[in-house]
């Protein structure tokens, strides 16, 4: 059973939370970042990009130390205040499509992660793990929770609905037209009820944040060896939501060339694996698993996996991202390393095939493929079997803002 505990979050004052909250640093364009940094002195981007103050790019350990300095300044100035008692934090997001996501921000156990009670489905990159571990070690805090999921729980739904009857501590809308709400839960009986509900679950699953969780585990190992580990370094911050609240989108694949083939040769080779329908100028998007859309030379195609290829030995082989790699990208287009091949690009979101069309029409890529999104059950099956997905297999929502709840390691 997973061990989920409350923690003393460092949080913005109510009047400044909307100004502080930011997306992940790398999701902003350079011009967007500059506009926010120039015009909003409270943006969390000032903490994660401390060199901007000196008009200088700073990296590595020097940057991490400045990040900590900016963070401490925000605390000293009363912009951030730490809760006096441990709490859970019920968090709700309503997006522009009126979809609601409700979950609990809490501290999850690193030992549970190590013992596979918190299960993963993606491989992590060692260099990125080490970089983020050093970032955590020097800055001493994490501002982005790992997204965990679990089967729907009637008990948790009742608890969250009762909490949300009260006035929210935070309520703000972003320029993306997403509205965010937060309710701290300090009541001991409610805290115990939340913990009891999680304790009945056999496992939790990482939906998003594999590098954040793995880096926290590396930090735990480092601090344990130096005998400086405290209770807070035994856990990492997580946003835990029921499966029905996840929204899973697919990443499209775009390839810069046809591996020396012409259009007709490619179609002939694909025909042995797929039933192919030429839809001409009509926009095509897959409507079920084992269907793929393709945009090639100004035309859309629908590819349906032939029956003889629908026999699978494990959950990973049943995943469309793996099928496309095994049957098309590797053998036909010679993409042997999808993590590093510069010929391969990705698009994400609901309108990813429109992006594919635009880039292929501009000559940036020769062909693009759209996939049907993976299901939550597929992710769980792959995790349960100890397997890992190809890179960019899922784009998962919700996405939280940075700087709303901060978890201090020491």
Domains of the chain: 4-248+397-408 (no CATH), 251-393 (3.30.1760.10)
pLDDT at 125: 74
Give the integer Cα–Cα distance in Å for 268 and 304: 14
Closest by CA position to 232, among listed 315, 109, 356, 102: 109
pLDDT tens sequence for the chain (410 residues): 899 999 999 999 999 999 999 998 888 888 998 899 999 999 999 999 998 888 888 889 999 999 999 999 999 999 999 999 999 999 999 998 899 999 999 999 999 999 999 999 887 778 888 999 999 999 999 999 999 999 999 999 999 999 999 999 999 999 889 999 999 999 999 999 999 999 999 999 999 998 899 999 999 988 887 655 567 789 999 999 999 999 999 999 999 999 999 999 999 999 999 999 999 999 999 999 999 999 999 999 999 999 999 999 999 999 999 999 999 999 999 999 888 899 999 987 666 788 899 999 999 999 999 999 999 999 999 999 999 998 888 889 998 899 999 999 87
User: Within a 10 A sphere around the Cβ of 42, how many other Cβ atoms?
Assistant: 20
The single residue listed with the structure tokens 């698009």 is 347
Collapse the DSSP code of 7 into the 3-class scheme (helix H, G, I; strand E, B; otherwise coil) and give the result.
Answer: strand
Between CA 388 and CA 325, with CA 270 as vertex, the angle to 5 degrees is 15
Q: pTM, whole model, 2 decimals?
A: 0.91
């Amino acid at each position: 059973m997973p061990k989920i505990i409350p923690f003393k979050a460092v949080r913005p004052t109510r009047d400044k939370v909307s100004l502080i909250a930011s997306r992940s640093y790398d999701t902003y364009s350079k011009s967007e970042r500059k506009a926010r940094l120039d015009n909003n002195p409270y943006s969390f981007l000032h903490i994660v990009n401390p060199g901007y103050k000196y008009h200088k790019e700073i990296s590595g350990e020097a940057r991490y130390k400045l990040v900590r300095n900016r963070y401490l300044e925000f605390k000293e100035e009363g912009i951030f205040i730490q809760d006096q008692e441990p709490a859970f934090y019920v968090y709700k997001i309503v997006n522009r499509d009126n979809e609601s996501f409700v979950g609990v921000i809490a501290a999850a156990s690193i030992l549970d992660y190590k013992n596979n009670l918190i299960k993963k489905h993606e491989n992590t990159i060692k260099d990125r793990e080490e970089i983020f571990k050093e970032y955590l070690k020097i800055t001493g805090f994490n501002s982005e929770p790992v997204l965990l999921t679990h089967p729907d729980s009637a008990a948790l739904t009742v608890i969250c609905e009762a909490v949300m009857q009260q006035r929210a501590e935070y309520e703000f809308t972003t320029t993306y037209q997403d509205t965010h709400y937060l309710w701290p839960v300090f009541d001991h009986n409610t805290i115990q009820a939340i913990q009891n509900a999680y304790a009945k679950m056999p496992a939790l699953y990482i939906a998003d944040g594999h590098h954040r969780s793995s880096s926290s585990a590396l930090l735990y190992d480092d601090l344990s060896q130096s005998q400086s580990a405290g209770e807070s370094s035994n856990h990492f911050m997580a946003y835990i939501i029921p499966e029905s609240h996840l929204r899973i989108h697919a990443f499209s694949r775009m390839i810069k060339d046809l591996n020396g083939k012409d259009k007709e040769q490619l179609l002939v080779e694909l025909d042995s694996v797929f039933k192919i329908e030429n839809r001409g100028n009509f926009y095509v998007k897959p409507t079920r698993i084992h269907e793929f859309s393709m945009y090639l030379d100004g035309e859309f195609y629908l590819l349906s996996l032939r029956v003889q290829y629908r026999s699978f030995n494990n959950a990973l082989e049943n995943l469309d991202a793996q099928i496309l790699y095994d049957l098309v990208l590797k053998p036909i287009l010679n993409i042997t390393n999808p993590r590093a091949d510069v010929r391969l690009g990705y698009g994400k979101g609901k309108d990813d095939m429109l992006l594919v069309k635009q880039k292929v029409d501009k000559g940036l890529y020769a062909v693009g493929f759209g996939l049907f999104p993976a299901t939550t059950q597929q992710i769980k099956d792959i995790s349960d079997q100890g397997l890992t997905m190809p890179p960019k297999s899922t784009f998962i929502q919700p996405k939280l803002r940075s700087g709303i709840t901060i978890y201090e390691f020491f």
